Amino acid sequence: MWWTAKSSGVYAGSCEPIVAWDGTPQHLKDTLDTDRDGFAAVILCPSTIKPFEPQTFKDIMDVAQSHGTLVIFDEVKTGFRDALGGIQEVMGVTPDITTVSKAMGNGYPIAAVCGRHEVMDVMPTNPSAGTFSVEAIGLVAAIETLRELEAKNAPAHLRAMGQRLIDGFNQIAQSHGIAVEAFAEPIPQMPNLRFTDPNEKTANKVKDMFFREVIRRGLFMIDWHMHFINFSHQAGDIDQALEVCDYVLGQMKRTL
């Protein structure tokens, strides 16, 4: 589902009932107003909501509720990272349904659909099953992982390490005068880079050089996605990563 609209071979009509919105409360209202009874639910990935602040989330919830529409938060990516209760805890809202996965399994296959009773109570009347639906390894992993995340207050550590990476990187990039910037997307636990040269061709060239070279110098980064700070990252690991960035940006400055 998450990737469906981007895949070839998917019948365009199957996506038709889904109306895209831009993540702002106003556009949500305008969209829902086009068909007051026609929308079953609003689904959003909290990290894409702009501005990323409690008021926006409250406004979105209000708009949806006043239109009698359920709100689903896809916290697959964001869950457990900034707070154990996800972005919704940080923003002080409670959607009707939430999906979580990634961070709760520590790499093991697990996902969960959670929601308030009135909504979840229909599940037994809509039975579903799958080949691996009674597989337990992911559940065991999730229980252990959640215990660790809570006992060690992982979100605070992830935030601190992410901020260290972002601040350190920006200092280095500035000192070399290379047009690249690290930023929280939108939380420091999910840092990303943007290549800011106003000339798009130059920006792409800088980007290409950077990612090719850091891998050859012992830092595995990806050029098409935000990164994720892991609980195993310690200050020393972040600093080593910054050393590689410093070296590579220094080399680039000489060749650019």
Partner 1 sequence: MTTNTARPAVAAYTFDRSKQLFEQAMQVIPAGGQATRLPPYEDYPTYFQRAKGCRVWDVDGNACGSAAGAINHQTRQGRTQRLPRMV
Ligand X SMILES: Cc1ncc(COP(=O)(O)O)c(C=O)c1O
Q: Does the protein bind partner 1 through residue 4 (CB under 8 A)?
A: no
Cα separation, 61 vs 69, in Å, equals 9
Spell out the residues 6+ positions from residue 76 whose beta carbon is closer than 8 angstroms to its own: 2, 45, 99, 100, 101, 102, 111
CB-nearer residue toward partner 1: 64 or 214:
214
Q: Does the protein bind partner 1 through residue 183 (CB under 8 A)?
A: no
Q: Does the protein bind partner 1 through residue 256 (CB under 8 A)?
A: no
The token pair at 202 is: 């130059």
**Which among ligand X, partner 1, none contacts residue 148 (Cβ within 5 to 8 A by kind)?**
partner 1
Q: Does the protein bind partner 1 through residue 204 (CB under 8 A)?
A: no
Q: Does the protein bind ligand X through residue 226 (CB under 6 A)?
A: no
Q: Does the protein bind partner 1 through residue 126 (CB under 8 A)?
A: no
Q: Does the protein bind partner 1 through residue 229 (CB under 8 A)?
A: yes
Stretch that binds ligand X, among 18-26, 74-82, 144-152, 223-231 (CB under 6 A): 74-82
SS3 157: helix
For residue 193, count other CB atoms closer than 10 A to its CB.
21
**Which among partner 1, ligand X, none contacts residue 181 (Cβ within 5 to 8 A by kind)?**
none
* Window 193-222: residues binding ligand X (CB under 6 A): none
The Cα-based distances of 203 to 50, 226, 255 in angstroms read 25, 17, 15
The Cα-based distances of 77 to 43, 48, 200, 228 in angstroms read 14, 11, 29, 9
SS3 53: coil
Near ligand X by CB under 6 A: residue from 70, 76, 112, 244? 76
Q: Does the protein bind ligand X through residue 132 (CB under 6 A)?
A: no
Q: What torsion do the CA atoms of 51, 154, 86, 167 make, to the nearest 10 degrees?
A: 10
**Which among ligand X, partner 1, none contacts residue 145 (Cβ within 5 to 8 A by kind)?**
partner 1
Q: Does the protein bind partner 1 through residue 244 (CB under 8 A)?
A: yes
What does the binding site for ligand X look like in residue numbers (CB under 6 A)? 2, 45, 74, 76-77, 101, 111
